[in-house]
Chains A and B, each alone.
Chain A
Amino acid sequence: MALIETENLSFTYPSGMKPAVEDISISIEKGDFVVLTGPSGCGKTTLCRCFNGLIPHFYGGKLEGNITVAGYNVAKCLVYELARHVGLVFQNPENQLFALSVEKDVAFGLENCGMPRDDMRKRVDWALQMTGIEELRERAPHELSGGQQQRVAIACVLAMQPEVMVFDEPTSFLDPLGAQKIFEVINDLNKELGITVILVEHRLDLASRYANHVIVMNEGKIVLDGEPHKVFNSERARLIGVGIPKATRLYQILRENGLKLSKVPINSEEASQFLRKILTHD
Chain B
Amino acid sequence: MIEVKDVYFTYPNGIGALKGVSITIQNGDFVAIMGQNGAGKTTLVKHFNGLLKPTKGKVLVDGVNTRDISVARLARKVGFVFQNPDHQLFCETVEDETSFALKNFGYKPNIIERRVTWALNLLSLTQYRKTSPFMLSGGERKRVALASVLASDPKIVILDEPTIGQDHQQKEKLRQFITQLRAQKKTVVIVTHDVEFVAECNPRVVLMTEGKIVADGRANKILTNYNLVTKASLVPPQVTQIFMKLSDLGLPTNVIDVYEARKVFLNSLEGS
Contacts and interface: CB of A to CB of B under 8 A. Distances in A.
Contacts, number: 113
Contacts of B243: 272
A269 B259 contact: no
B169 A254 contact: no
Interface string A186-219: 0000000000000000110110000000000000
B168 A202 contact: yes
Interface string A50-61: 000000000000
A169 B164 CA distance: 10
A254 B242 contact: no
B139 interface: yes
Give the interface size bracket for B toward A.
Answer: 35 or more
B272 interface: yes
Contact of B259 (A147, A253, A278): A253
Interface string B238-260: 11011101100101000000110
A129 interface: no
B37 interface: yes
Contact of A40 (B165, B193, B233, B237): B165
A269 B238 CA distance: 10
A202 B269 contact: no
A95 interface: no
Interface string B10-40: 0000000000000000000000000111100
Contacts of B166: 40, 202
Contacts of A206: 235
A267 B167 CA distance: 20
Query: What are the nearest 6 A-B pairs in CB distance?
Result: A243-B168, A241-B169, A272-B245, A268-B241, A246-B238, A177-B233
Interface of B: 35-38, 137-139, 164-172, 193, 195-196, 230, 233-235, 237-239, 241-243, 245-246, 249, 251, 258-259, 261-262, 265-266, 268-269, 272
